[in-house]
Chain A
Amino acid sequence: QAGAPNPGAAKSAAFGDGTLVAQMFSGGTIRDIRVVGVQRIEPTTVRSYLAVAPGDPFDPDRIDQSLKALFNTGLFADVVLKREGDVLVVQVAENPIINRIAFEGNRRIEKENLEKEIQLRPRVVYTRTRVQSDVQRILDIYRRQGRFAATVEPKIIQLDQNRVDLVFEINEGVRTGVRGITFIGNEKFSDGTLREAIQTRETAWWRFMTSDDNYDPDRLNYDRDLLRRYYLKEGYADFRVVSAVAELTPDREDFVITFTVDEGERYKFGKMDISTSLKALDPEQLRRVLTTREGDWYNAQEVENTINKLTNAVGDLQYAFVDVRPRISRNREDQTIDITYDIVEGPRVFVERIDVTGNIRTLDKVVRREMLLSEGDPFSSTKLRRSEQRIKDLGYFERVNITTAEGSAPDRTVMNVEVTEQSTGEISIGAGYSTSDGPLADFSIRERNLLGRGQDLRFGATVSGSRQEYDVSFTEPYFLDRDLSAGFDLFRITRDYQDESSFDEKSTGLALRMGYPLTENLRQRVYYQLQNTDITSVPSTASRYIQDQKGARLTSLIGQELTYDRRNSRLNPTEGYYIRLTNDLAGLGGDARFLRNRLGAGYYLPLFDESWVLSTTGEIGYIVGIGDDGIALSDRFFLGGDTLRGFNTAGIGPRDLRTGDALGGTRYYRASVEMSFPVGLPEEFGLKGHAFSDVGTLGKVDINDPLVPDDESVRLSVGTGLSWRSPFGPIRLDFAVPILKEDYDKKEIFRFSFGTRF
């Protein structure tokens, strides 16, 4: 009788002394197999896992194998194989079934989130290993929230019919914050600058929005890397993080983190050189691409940029398989680093197949058409990276990950473009206030990836004191499957100019538009617009020149817009420039006949490592009638408010002195110089100061009337402002004082605008 293993402990297959068991199980054939101790599981199930069957000889290895198989099912707390004569007896004790799972002490995390995370479920078999792994999973969730002191105790309550209730007793412990971050060995940069370079922050009350201020060991490693990159960017090629240590404070509540660094010497760039083994490639031709110049401070980031630029430049010269490798030689005496960029032929690999996965809603072609590579093409990692960026820029996906694996032959690779979709439907309700329009509410429904076809459909409505705007716009980015975006807009805008020029303007219309790239950065848009504009509710006291503009006018115009855009971002550009030319020709039917031209440009210059930005923008425009009729009121330009701070909307330009109504003008220019700078608070606040000066004029309204001044004199204003990217929405305050003005202009010293989306 072999020693009976203690029940309830899932034991390994060994029975203590292996040899005794071996003879017992050898010799003779198994006449029958009897299964004992099953309650829920049928005997046939147990037999199906055995490696032996009636009629087989007693064979110790196969019996041992059966034992292991039965344990691996996880269904049994204990299994004992015995031999009575030539009958094999399989005695099992089933693992209990879980009846209910409960959590106690989980204040920070709700029951549903915990349930989602663990594997065990009611009616599933209870095994000790699964409970341990679930305990670990719960601890991981708390660790991710920065609670390292949490403990989890699984408790079992026995029920009848071999069932158990499982209770996880959780003691969450207190959130372990970061009391202090100190640096040792840093002479060249202050603790404050280095603290700004890493991601972990010291715990502070106003950091309630971020979890960066609680201790996380993985983030500590990431910080070491951030420090190294920061120093390499500043030229300290020998920089090393000696140690990064986090000690628990005596009261076990927080951690104190200490970085010990060895900065080493600061290096300069020595000789730069390009060498290549490609036959027909002349290195001199690529020299202009080098951004690292001899004598500059060494900067690892710049070397990285140069490699990318070189790879792109060579790629554009149609060399398919190219690898650019920097050969860095460091001479310690004069602290310079010489770099030779070797351009060598990389492995000749072709793309065999591109699979798009994860696109539940989006069509395959919407992703595939963004790929710069197609099947059969030579493989190029720069094109792969640029394709990944293009797919990300679509904004339809949370995560885009392109992986490559070897294809059917060593020189062929299969690319898998894996995307995780995010909801691209936006319902945004905004509220705001601006001194020119009064309280403002806007509402829009937008679907940026309609039916997964990549089309953009938007219904918008803006209602404010002086403006109601309703519009519908639809865009297909790849019309006729070409690189041609086409779309239409329907709009209805009612504007109240009563206090500026005592008239209301109601315009309804539609526009058809098409846009296409001419080159990488030059894009053209052509459009047709049909609009009916109605000047109404003109009081009898209004200026004569307003009175005779009453009534509706139909404008049918075609236009084009050329934009050359080299800015680093459209939303808030900090570098680069753009130039835009717009020409509109009205007269294909309709009442209005004019030619309107506008030219705008903007230049953005980052100073003191991008925290200060100097932006200068300017625009000129003129409109000239065709044939004999003059320019109607609604087609004229108005200047002031946002376009010329310090002056009211339509605050400058020709005005009927008798009634004070602004009459607009057919010619204008305006320019603005603005310096935006941090206000000393850390970057994460999003608070910026502004100092600006606006200049401009508006005039030539073809009315010769002594009481309608039209002298196109220069208006200039100077001002300061504050902008805050608050969690509720962007807020902007501006104070501007007009310096050069006409006495009949309308001033507006203070402007405030705030908008929120939710």
Chain B
Amino acid sequence: CSSTKPEDQYVERPADQIYQEADAAMREERFKVAAKLYDEVERQHPYSEWAGKAQIMAAYAHYQDLKYDDAILALDRYIQLHPGSPDVAYAYYMRALSYYEQITDVRRDQRMTRLALDALSEVVRRFPDSQYARDAKIKIDLTNDHLAGKEMEVGRFYLKQGQYTAGIGRFRTVIENYQTTSHVPEALHRLVECYLALGITDEAKTAAAVLGHNFPGSEWYTDSYALLVDANVRPERNEKSWISRAWSSLF
């Protein structure tokens, strides 16, 4: 005998009553229950004016419950069914947030970062003057900064192994494609390090000059200056002991 799970019971109830119940659940932050109830509204009354609102509220419940995949699924369906509705801007925005909040740290796969970037750019493209666009623009800069961080991470990996050609490639990608990010000063300094190690001093000098001109106060410029001009100008050189370096490399 198959036991029907509670919410499978097909209880016919008026749309607004289920909707109120769902709103109550949302207020009490019982997101899973709220999401199910909103779905129920849409299932029992697909043609009532509640259906559209319920769909986007269900997605919001999933989002609050940090169930990003379900939220994105619900939002995609809402966008397909109601491309003209006033709430569609919010749907695009929440979809972008759902990707954005799954971004992992730079040393791991950046698939989520790229998806977030696309979703955020779509918000800015479709609704340029909405208040969502303003927040999306800020998040786009942060996401680009994150992608630049990934390039730097790989660049440093090669530099540490003495593979200067590989390092130069990565640091130049940061300078060319991510000029507005916070990693440019470090990228310029790393170029100084790579070119000096290869003996191409004039390239190192130009990179340091650009660094000094654009980011005079930056610590990286002091490092480059020390490498190129004289060493003792470098801020207190924290000569970490061999043991502490070994320990930090382990954990």
Assess whether B153 is in contact with A364, with CB atoms less than 8 Å apart: yes
Contact with B along A109-140 (1 / 0, CB 8 A): 00000000000001110000000000000000
Assess whether A376 is in contact with B165, with CB atoms less than 8 Å apart: yes
Specify which of A40, A41, A363, A375 is in contact with B170 (CB 8 Å cutoff). Answer: A375
Contacts of A363 in B (CB 8 A): 107-108
Assess whether A364 is in contact with B157, with CB atoms less than 8 Å apart: yes
Assess whether A368 is in contact with B154, with CB atoms less than 8 Å apart: yes
Instruction: Using known A-B contacts A45-B84, A123-B43, A479-B246, determine if residue A352 contacts B154 with beta carbons closer than 8 Å.
Output: no
Contacts of B150 in A (CB 8 A): 364
Assess whether A161 is in contact with B158, with CB atoms less than 8 Å apart: no
Instruction: Using known A-B contacts A122-B43, A161-B46, determine if residue A481 contacts B249 with beta carbons closer than 8 Å.
Output: yes
Instruction: Using known A-B contacts A361-B108, A368-B154, A374-B158, determine if residue A123 contacts B46 with beta carbons closer than 8 Å.
Output: yes
How far does the alpha carbon of A353 sit from the alpha carbon of B77 in the complex, in Å?
A: 37
Contacts of A97 in B (CB 8 A): 46
Contacts of B163 in A (CB 8 A): 374-376
Question: How many A-B contacts are there with CB distance less than 8 Å?
Answer: 89
Contacts of B170 in A (CB 8 A): 375
Q: For the complex, is B20 an interface residue (Cβ under 8 Å from A)?
A: no
- Minimum CB–CB distance from A520 to chain B (whole Å) comes to 19
- Minimum CB–CB distance from B80 to chain A (whole Å) comes to 8
Specify which of B77, B84, B158 is in contact with A124 (CB 8 Å cutoff). Answer: B77
Contacts of A720 in B (CB 8 A): none
B201-251 with Cβ < 8 A to chain A = 245-246, 249-250
- Minimum CB–CB distance from A729 to chain B (whole Å) comes to 35
Assess whether B81 is in contact with A45, with CB atoms less than 8 Å apart: yes
Contact with A along B165-178 (1 / 0, CB 8 A): 11001100000000
Interface size in chain A (residues, C-beta < 8 A): 41
Contacts of A47 in B (CB 8 A): 84
Contacts of A162 in B (CB 8 A): 46-47
- Minimum CB–CB distance from B84 to chain A (whole Å) comes to 4
Q: For the complex, is A452 an interface residue (Cβ under 8 Å from B)?
A: yes
Nearest chain A residue, comparing its CB with the CB of B58: A123
Contact with A along B72-87 (1 / 0, CB 8 A): 0000010011111100
Nearest chain B residue, comparing its CB with the CB of A74: B80
Contact with A along B23-49 (1 / 0, CB 8 A): 000000000000000010011011100
Assess whether B249 is in contact with A364, with CB atoms less than 8 Å apart: no
Assess whether B157 is in contact with A360, with CB atoms less than 8 Å apart: no
How far does the alpha carbon of A362 sit from the alpha carbon of B245 in the complex, in Å?
A: 22
Instruction: Using known A-B contacts A359-B109, A481-B160, determine if residue A40 contacts B82 with beta carbons closer than 8 Å.
Output: no
Contact with B along A356-378 (1 / 0, CB 8 A): 11111111110011000011100
Q: For the complex, is B134 an interface residue (Cβ under 8 Å from A)?
A: no
Nearest chain A residue, comparing its CB with the CB of B245: A480
Instruction: Using known A-B contacts A368-B154, A374-B163, determine if residue A161 contacts B81 with beta carbons closer than 8 Å.
Output: no
How far does the alpha carbon of A157 sit from the alpha carbon of B21 in the complex, in Å?
A: 30
Assess whether B158 is in contact with A375, with CB atoms less than 8 Å apart: yes
Contacts of A476 in B (CB 8 A): 250
Q: For the complex, is B104 an interface residue (Cβ under 8 Å from A)?
A: yes
How far does the alpha carbon of A368 sit from the alpha carbon of B160 in the complex, in Å?
A: 13
Specify which of A99, A161, A479 is in contact with B47 (CB 8 Å cutoff). Answer: A161
Contacts of A84 in B (CB 8 A): none
Contacts of A99 in B (CB 8 A): 43
Q: For the complex, is A163 an interface residue (Cβ under 8 Å from B)?
A: yes
Q: For the complex, is A44 an interface residue (Cβ under 8 Å from B)?
A: yes
- Minimum CB–CB distance from A119 to chain B (whole Å) comes to 12
How far does the alpha carbon of A368 sit from the alpha carbon of B109 in the complex, in Å?
A: 12
Nearest chain A residue, comparing its CB with the CB of B157: A365
Q: For the complex, is A17 an interface residue (Cβ under 8 Å from B)?
A: no
Assess whether B84 is in contact with A48, with CB atoms less than 8 Å apart: yes
Closest 8 CB pairs of A and B: A44-B84, A376-B165, A375-B166, A40-B47, A39-B47, A363-B107, A97-B46, A374-B166
Residues of A at the B interface (CB closer than 8 Å) are 39-42, 44-45, 47-48, 73, 75, 97, 99, 122-124, 161-163, 352-353, 356-365, 368-369, 374-376, 452, 455, 476, 479-481
Given contact pairs A122-B43, A376-B163, enumerate 18 new A-B contacts (beta carbons under 8 Å): A40-B81, A44-B85, A45-B82, A45-B83, A48-B84, A75-B81, A123-B42, A123-B43, A162-B46, A356-B109, A362-B108, A364-B153, A364-B157, A368-B157, A369-B157, A374-B161, A375-B158, A479-B250
